[in-house]
């Protein structure tokens, strides 16, 4: 079993829909990251969380440390949001290396 599990693996939505991607992890962590990867490989960091909730534009990330669970929400989705969204955790006691989930592939259609 992977230390970081994401669901769903694939997601198709229509433009304007509210989207939720989930991440569960099995280890103690000092931080959790949400990353966006576009075709061609480039990865962009969206959020780094250790508690609570963060918002940036149409993106919202939440984390529940007790339940070892995080969600990434996209409001009013748009085709340009189509990408792979990856959850990554920094386990406690591991300096700064990240452990990644396998990603959620999101396709937003018109």
Partner 1 sequence: DTGVSQNPRHKITKRGQNVTFRCDPISEHNRLYWYRQTLGQGPEFLTYFQNEAQLEKSRLLSDRFSAERPKGSFSTLEIQRTEQGDSAMYLCASSLGHASTQYFGPGTRLTVL
* Site residues (vs partner 1, CB under 8 A): 4, 30-31, 33, 35, 40-45, 48, 86, 88, 95-103
Nearer to partner 1, 35 or 59 (CB): 35
Min dist. Cβ of residue 16 to partner 1 (A): 28
- In the block, which residue shows the tokens 């999101």? 106
Min dist. Cβ of residue 61 to partner 1 (A): 13
80 by DSSP, 3-state: which?
helix
Nearer to partner 1, 44 or 76 (CB): 44
Cα dihedral: 36, 37, 38, 44 (round 10): 60
Min dist. Cβ of residue 56 to partner 1 (A): 12
Nearer to partner 1, 45 or 109 (CB): 45
Asked whether the beta carbons of 108 and 10 are under 8 A apart, the reply is no
Nearer to partner 1, 1 or 110 (CB): 1
Burial of 62 per CB tally in 10 Å (0-12, 13-18, 19+): middle
């Amino acid at each position: 079993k992977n230390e970081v599990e994401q669901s769903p693996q694939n997601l198709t939505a229509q433009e304007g829909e509210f989207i939720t991607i989930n991440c569960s992890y099995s280890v103690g962590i000092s931080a959790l990251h949400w990353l966006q990867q576009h075709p061609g490989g480039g990865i962009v960091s969206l959020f780094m969380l250790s508690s609570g909730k963060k918002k940036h534009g149409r993106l919202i990330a939440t984390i529940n440390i007790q339940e070892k669970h995080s969600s990434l929400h996209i409001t009013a989705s748009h085709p340009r949001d189509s990408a792979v969204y990856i959850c990554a955790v920094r386990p406690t006691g591991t300096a700064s290396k990240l452990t990644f989930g396998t990603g959620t592939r999101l396709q937003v259609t018109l």
